[in-house]
Copies of this chain bind each other. A is one copy, B any other.
Amino acid sequence: MALTKELERIAKLIEDRLDALLRPEPAASGQARLIEAMRYAALGGGKRLRPFLLIESARLFGVAEEDALDAGVALECVHCYSLVHDDLPSMDDDTVRRGRPTAHIAFGEATAILAGDALLTLAFGILSRPSTHRDAGVRAELIGLLAEAAGVHGMAGGQALDLAAEGQRLGPMEVAKMQAMKTGALFTFACGAGAALGRADAVARGALAAYASAFGQAFQLADDLLDAKGDAAAMGKAAAKDAGRGKATLVALLGIDAARARLDALVDDAEAALVAFGKRGATLKEAARFVAARRA
C-alpha cells in the first residue's frame, strides 16, 4: 500500500530531525540524563501521523515538505510530551507504551516530568526559528495555533476532563467533547498549520478543519474499537485498561456495531471535506481510510 510507504518515509524524516535536534551530551554535563529522557520519549517509535498530516496539508498548497518539516517536528514534540505526562502515576498510571517501559518507569518521575516540560518548551522554540519559516508572521501564527491546541481549551483541558470523568457516567456528547480536545486538537493543529504554511484562504482552511475533526474522531474511535477487542499486541499497551478503569469511550456507550457504523460515516465525512482539492486530496483521503482500518 503506497500510503504505508509514504508514512514510513515521512516518519523517518521526522525521526532523523528529532535525533539531530536532541543531541546527546557528555554524561558529565549534568543535563545528559534529561536529554536522554527527552530522546527516549521522542525517538524510536510512533507513526508520526500528526507531522504526516501537517506535511500533507501544506503540500495541498504547494509547500515543499522540507519547508513543513520543522513545524511537524515541533508538533511531534508536543505529542510526545503529552504521552509522557499522561502516563504519569498521578494521571493514567501507565507502565508500558509502544512495548517499552514508560518514561517515568525508565527515568523516574521527576525526570519524566521535566522531559515533558522541556519537550513542550522545545516545540515553541523550534517554531520561533527563522529556519522553520522565513516569515515571522507565519511563525507567530503557528505558535498561536499550537498554544491554543495544546492549552487549557485544547489538549490539557481535554486531559483534565478525562481525569475528572473517571468513575463518572458521561454521555456521548460529553465524551465526544473531551476527545475533541484531548486528541482532536493536535490533529486540528496539524491541518491548520499546513494551511498556515500554505497561506491558504478561509474556505480552504475551513475544509481542512472539517477534515481534521472527522479524522481525529475516526482515529479515536478506531483506537477505542481496537482497545475493546483487547488486542494488546496491536496496541502496544496494557489492553482493555481504559474499560477496566471505567473510562468512558464511545464504543462502550454506543456498542461495537454502532461505533463501526459511525467510524465509516466519519471516513466519508473526512473524504467529503476534501472534495474541493480534487486529486490533490488523495493522500489525505487515504490517510483517513488508513486510520479507520486499524480497528480491524
Contacts and interface: CB of A to CB of B under 8 A. Distances in A.
Interface of A: 30-31, 33-35, 38, 81, 85, 88, 90-91, 108-111, 113-114, 116-118, 120-122, 124-125, 127-130, 135-137, 139-141, 143-144, 146-148, 150-153, 156-157, 159-161, 163-164, 174, 177-178
Contact of A121 (B118, B122, B125, B151): B151
A150 B118 CA distance: 8
Given A120-B117, A136-B136, A160 B128 contact: no
Q: Which of A108, A121, A164 has the most C-beta atoms of chain B within 10 angstroms of its own C-beta?
A: A121
A139 B124 CA distance: 12
A161 B121 contact: no
Given A91-B110, A140-B139, A148-B125, A160 B33 contact: yes
A170 to B, nearest CB: 10
Nearest to A91: B110
Given A30-B161, A90-B109, A160-B33, A143 B118 contact: no
A34 B147 contact: no
A109 B144 CA distance: 28
B140 A31 contact: no
User: What copy number does this chain have within its complex?
Assistant: 2
Contacts of A109: 90
Contacts of A157: 30-31, 34, 118
Contacts of A141: 128
B111 A160 contact: yes
A293 to B, nearest CB: 32
Contact of A152 (B38, B144, B152): B38
Contacts of A125: 143-144, 147-148, 151
A171 to B, nearest CB: 13
B140 A121 contact: no
Nearest to A160: B34
Nearest to A133: B140
